[in-house]
Amino acid sequence: MQHYLSINDIDSLPDWVDGARALKIDPLQSKSLGKDKTIGLLFFNNSLRTRLSTQKAAMNLGMEVIVMNFGNEGWALEYGDGTIMNQGKSEHIKEAARVVSQYCDIIGIRAFASLTDQKKDEAELVLNGFKEYASVPILNMESSVGHPLQALTDAITLAENSNKAKPKVVLSWAPHPKALPHAVANSFIQIMQRQDADFVITHPKGYELDPTITKNSQIEYDQRKALENADFVYVKNWSSYDDYGKVLSQDQNWMITKEKLGDAKFMHCLPVRRNVVAEDTVLDSDQSLVIEQANNRTYAAQIVLKKILEHLK
Ligand code: CP
C-alpha cells in the first residue's frame, strides 16, 4: 500500500517536483484517474490551506471528497490496546479506521502534536493508528512530527524561484505568542537535506529541534550572520523541543524585517502573524512568496494523490 506519511515516501524528489509543476500547467491532465474514487479528509485540528488545496487537488483528479472535522464532530477515539473504555473515549481506532476505510479509497489525517506529552506525540497515535488499522492508503495532512505536503510545496516553490544551482536557504525561528508544533520545521529541514543548497538553521539557544532530524544541518545562533547573502529565508516559529512545548522567548528582535531580509525571497507556510513573525513590509513586498506557496499546495497534494491513485489501479 502506498501511503504518504513523511517525505521519506518520496522516491525521487526532482521527479515529484517536475510532476507537480506539470500539473500546475495542466491541472486537469489526469481528470479521469480518480473517477469513482473517494477521499476522506479527517481534521482533528483547524486548517485553511490544507483543507481547501487537498480538496481542490482531489477534484482536479476527478475524485469525490468527504471532509469531516473529526476533532469537533467525531467520537473521542481510544488508541490503547486492551484499555477498559469506561472513561471519556467512545470509540476505538480499531473500529473507526476500518469503518472509514469502507467509505473511502484514501484517508487524509490532520492531527497536531499536543505539545504536552512528547512520547505520545512522537508515537503519532492518530496517524499511525489509521495506518495500522485502515485498509486504504493514508495521507499525512500534518501530524505531530511532520508536514510533508507543506515540505513538498516548499520544494516546488524553491525550484520555481531559484536561478542558482546551489542557493543559500535559511530557516529562521521567529517569535510567536503561542506554543507551536515542530512539524513544519522538521519536514522543511528533511526536504532541504535532500536538495543541493547551502542550508542554515537559525534560532535562539534552547530552540534546538530533534537532533535525529537536524542531523548535520548547520545551526547558527546569530540570526544576522545566518541571513548574510541568503537567497531564501523560510521563517517559522516552533516551541522548545528539549523543554517540550514551552515558549522560552518572544524576543521581537527575531522578527523578520525588510532590512534583515535584504534581497532574499521570503517564505512562510501560513497562517502568519503580521508584525510578530514578519513585518508588513516583508509580507507586502514582491519578495514574499507566501501566496505562491499556498497556491502550490494544490499541486503538491495533486502529485501525491496521483502517485497513490496510480498505485491503486
Ligand atoms: N500551511 C498550512 O498547513 O496551512 P493550514 O494550517 O491552514 O492548513
If you search the block for the grid coordinates 473521542, which residue do you land on? Answer: 76
Q: What are the b/e assignments for 52-66, b being 16+ CB within 10 Å? A: ebbbbbbbbbbbebe
- Check pocket membership of 54 for ligand 1, CB cut-off 6 A: no
Best of 41, 49, 289 for a ligand 1 pocket test (most atoms within 8 Å of beta carbon) = 49
Ligand 1 centre to CA of 271 (Å) is 7
- Check pocket membership of 47 for ligand 1, CB cut-off 6 A: yes
Residue 304: what are its φ and ψ, rounded to 5°? Answer: -65, -45
- Check pocket membership of 150 for ligand 1, CB cut-off 6 A: yes
- Check pocket membership of 270 for ligand 1, CB cut-off 6 A: yes
Ligand 1 centre to CA of 142 (Å) is 8
- Residue 222 confidence (pLDDT): 98
175: nearest Cα among 104, 80, 276 = 276
What's the CA gap between 274 and 161, in Å, rounded? 23
- Check pocket membership of 52 for ligand 1, CB cut-off 6 A: no
Cβ-based neighbours of 3, under 8 Å, separated by 6 or more? 9, 131, 137, 138, 139, 140, 308
Cβ-based neighbours of 247, under 8 Å, separated by 6 or more? 176, 177, 178, 179, 239, 240
- Check pocket membership of 269 for ligand 1, CB cut-off 6 A: yes
- Nearest ligand 1 atom, CA 147: 3
Residue nearest to atom 4 of ligand 1 (CA): 49
- Nearest ligand 1 atom, CA 48: 7
- Residue 313 confidence (pLDDT): 76
Task: Give me the tens of pLDDT residue by residue for the chain, a chain 313 residues long.
Answer: 799 999 999 999 999 999 999 999 999 999 999 999 999 999 999 999 999 999 999 999 999 999 999 999 999 999 999 999 999 999 999 999 999 999 999 999 999 999 999 999 999 999 999 999 999 999 999 999 999 999 999 999 999 999 999 999 999 999 999 999 999 999 999 999 999 999 999 999 999 999 999 999 999 999 999 999 999 999 999 999 999 999 999 999 999 999 999 999 999 999 999 999 999 999 999 999 999 999 999 999 999 999 999 999 7
